[in-house]
Amino acid sequence: MSVSYKREKICEGAEYTEIIDKRFKTNYIYIHLLEPMDRKNASANAVIPDLLHDSNEKYPTITALSRKLASLYHASISCGVSKLGDFQVVSLMSGSIADKYTIDGDNISGEVVDILLDCLTKPHLENGIFAENDFRLKKQELLDDIDAEINDKRKFAVGKAKENIYKGEPAGIPVNGYREDAEKLTCADVYKRYTELLKNARIEVVFSGYGIGDEDKNKIFDRIRALERNAPAEYKTVPSAKKSDMVYVTDRMDVNQSKMVMAYKTDCTSKQTMKMLSFVFGGTPFSMLFENVREKLSLCYYCPSGYNSKKQVLLIDCGIEHQNINPAREEIYNQLELLKKGEFTEELLSNSKLLAKSSLKAVYDSPGSIANWYLDQCMEDNIVTPEEEAQLIDAVTKEDIVAAANSLVPDTVYVLTGKENPANE
């Protein structure tokens, strides 16, 4: 596959990653600002990208900016906030057609780059801070998003479980922060936080698509180098500390279906081994948990496992009837004991590897998925391509998985169940 990859240092605390794939007719530029998750900053950081992405100094309203982007072959500016290990990631992104595919070869890429950089560094201000009306709207949207988290009970349960799994760690803080903190935000506070973010955050710029010209690339480098910057510390996520005893947490709510989240921690440093362990255990439609807990015993509606390599945590996420909480938990324990004894077939491991390698090939399906791959890789000691990752997965043995399974330490069981459920008291 003719994909070229290059990584360069822009300045202290800022890196540039370039992925060129001529199959695509579009170009995407991602500017990610990474800071350690911190409760006092989480909600302010979460509202900042929404204040930046739909206006700037030159185009001070969403209407003005939208009209301009429409004239550039419907280019787009979007934003997001996410978590990566112990870090909160504030992102601005541009998407546009490559100049080669415009009518008469119109050069639009430079204008798109200018708009993106202006949104980041020259936002629309009133009286030296964000416009108050814009701020109030975006703050309410953030509050609505926080309130809406309870509507997706599965996502809500996983989030509450993580607060307990990562208690006292940055990773335990919700990506949007807490409602009581968001309510206290003021426009002046958020603008101050924005200036601190530009100064202190680790900056990762990722280009993914057909190609970028030297002039546009240099423009990105020059604008970032012109920022007043403090060199950020090395950004490494610390594996989650093991608990001396497993923690059981039960929350009660008016729910029709109970949710159970189980977490295990490990000191296994091979993320490929742990990834295959998760696939064999519960990460596929032919895994041990799927075949036994769901299909044979009908103890749950779903019970997949997933592995957070940065925190070294294995998570099992279940949807179950109230009366099946204890039986399902006991059967998951039983399946884990079988895994520790190596009581799974080479065929299961082989099929799991095939599925894992197939998902790695899908990384190249879009510029966005390629960009996400390399953003995730930027926090690793060694950056690997999807092809190299596939080779490492191929090398994982049954013995490796058994050894890793025996390193798992029980950490947390979180249950969200009905208000009245005496069978599981």
Are 3-225 and 247-424 equal in CATH topology? Answer: yes
- 398-421 pLDDT, tens digit each: 999 999 999 999 999 999 999 875
What's the confidence (pLDDT) of residue 1? 55
* Mean pLDDT confidence for 172-180: 97
* Mean pLDDT confidence for 326-338: 97
Q: Is the pLDDT of residue 242 over 70?
A: yes
Determine the topology of domain 3-225 in CATH.
Answer: Cytochrome Bc1 Complex; Chain A, domain 1 (3.30.830)
* Mean pLDDT confidence for 44-58: 97
- Where are the chain's structural domains? 3-225, 247-424
Q: Is this model's pTM higher than 0.75 or not?
A: yes
- 211-227 pLDDT, tens digit each: 999 999 999 999 999 99
Q: Is the pLDDT of residue 423 over 50?
A: no
Q: How far apart are CA 417 and CA 248, in angstroms?
A: 13
Which CATH number, 3.90.440.10, 3.40.50.1000, 3.30.830.10, 1.20.1630.10, labels domain 247-424? Answer: 3.30.830.10
Average pLDDT, the chain: 95
Q: Is the pLDDT of residue 40 over 90?
A: yes
- 336-393 pLDDT, tens digit each: 999 999 999 999 999 999 999 999 999 999 999 999 999 998 888 788 999 999 999 9
- 141-154 pLDDT, tens digit each: 999 999 999 999 99
74 pLDDT tier (thresholds 50, 70, 90):
very high
Q: Is the pLDDT of residue 425 over 60?
A: no
61 pLDDT tier (thresholds 50, 70, 90):
very high
389 touches 361 (CB < 8 A): no
What's the confidence (pLDDT) of residue 387? 95
232 pLDDT tier (thresholds 50, 70, 90):
confident
What's the confidence (pLDDT) of residue 421? 57
